[in-house]
Amino acid sequence: MNGSASPLQIVVLLSGSGTTLQAIIDEMQAGNINVEIKAVISDQSQATGLTRAENAGIETCALSPRDYPDRQGFDHALASCIDRYKPQYIVLAGFMRILGKSFVERFAGKILNIHPSLLPRFRGLDTYARVLEAGDAEHGTSVHFVTAELDGGPLIMQSRVKVLEGDDEESLSARVKERERKMYPAVLDMIAAKRIEMKDGQAWLDNQPLDHPLEFDPSK
Ligand code: GAR
């Protein structure tokens, strides 16, 4: 963990099982990262991730897109909910909804996402099926700042995983997700230590613009 600075206050957004959230909670509770989760918010009221949050004593909130006439209405309600917790960063952990331009601009440089591919390759959905179909030798995962361009914001860190002979979506995703569970908390801890930020539309590390995403070292 980095220094004695106050913990990075985050709100986590998710839609599904929340194994990535669980990894952040576990690292937090073990005292390995300087992060505090103020709330977990979902667009799916039945998301298992919400139960994981409740089990950890974290406040939760579910907002159903069906209750709003359009994307703007939902995004506005989501922003109001987030504002109640005054987080420093919004952390997307399997949040499977596109956020509109005005939402992203309102929290510019303060939204992070993890995406299961070596961006800019395979933006969007079904990355495992697509990488297997393409016959690539490697796949992986990326953490990036969110901008209005889908999966297109400045990259912070990536982790590479070899595609093995006989891999299917399940086996490949298991290995990628294992990396994600280590890499995302590590990035959050670097942000807590004020080593990483977004400035002038770019990711910066230690006051230098990052020309290439950092490579995650899984042995650490
Ligand atoms: C993670 O693998 C994450 O990379 C992916 O959703 C999964 C969430 O799993 N995110 C995206 O595909 C975003 N485009 P989880 O619910 O078990 O944490």
If one counts every other C-beta atom within 10 angstroms of the C-beta of residue 39, the result is 19
Average pLDDT over residues 66-70: 96
Superfamily, domain 8-118+141-160+179-215: Formyl transferase, N-terminal domain (3.40.50.170)
Q: Average pLDDT over the chain, rounded to whole?
A: 96
With a 6 Å cutoff on the Cβ, whether 78 touches ligand 1 is: no
Q: Which residues are catalytic?
A: 115
User: Is 173's C-beta closer than 6 angstroms to any atom of ligand 1?
Assistant: no
Q: Tell me the pTM.
A: 0.97
Mean predicted confidence (pLDDT) in 78-83: 98
Tell me the C-alpha to C-alpha distance, in Å, between residue 114 and each of 2, 32, 72, 176, 202: 22, 20, 23, 11, 17
Pocket test for ligand 1, best of 177, 178, 182, 183 (most atoms within 8 A of CB): 177
Task: Answer whether 127's CB lies under 8 Å from 117's CB.
Answer: yes
Ligand 1 center from residue 83 Cα (angstroms):
24
CB 191 within 8 A of CB 197: yes
Angle between helix axes 48-55 and 19-29 (nearest 10 degrees) is 10
Asked if pLDDT for residue 79 goes beyond 90, the answer is yes
- Which atom of ligand 1 is nearest the CA belonging to 124? 14
pLDDT at 217: 84
Could you tell me which of 12, 9, 112, 7 has the C-alpha nearest to residue 60?
12
Q: Could you read off the pLDDT of 115-158 as tens digits, one per residue?
A: 999 999 999 999 999 999 999 999 999 999 999 999 999 999 99
3-state secondary structure of 10: strand
Mean pLDDT of 15-27: 98
Distance between CA atoms of residues 197 and 141, nearest Å: 19
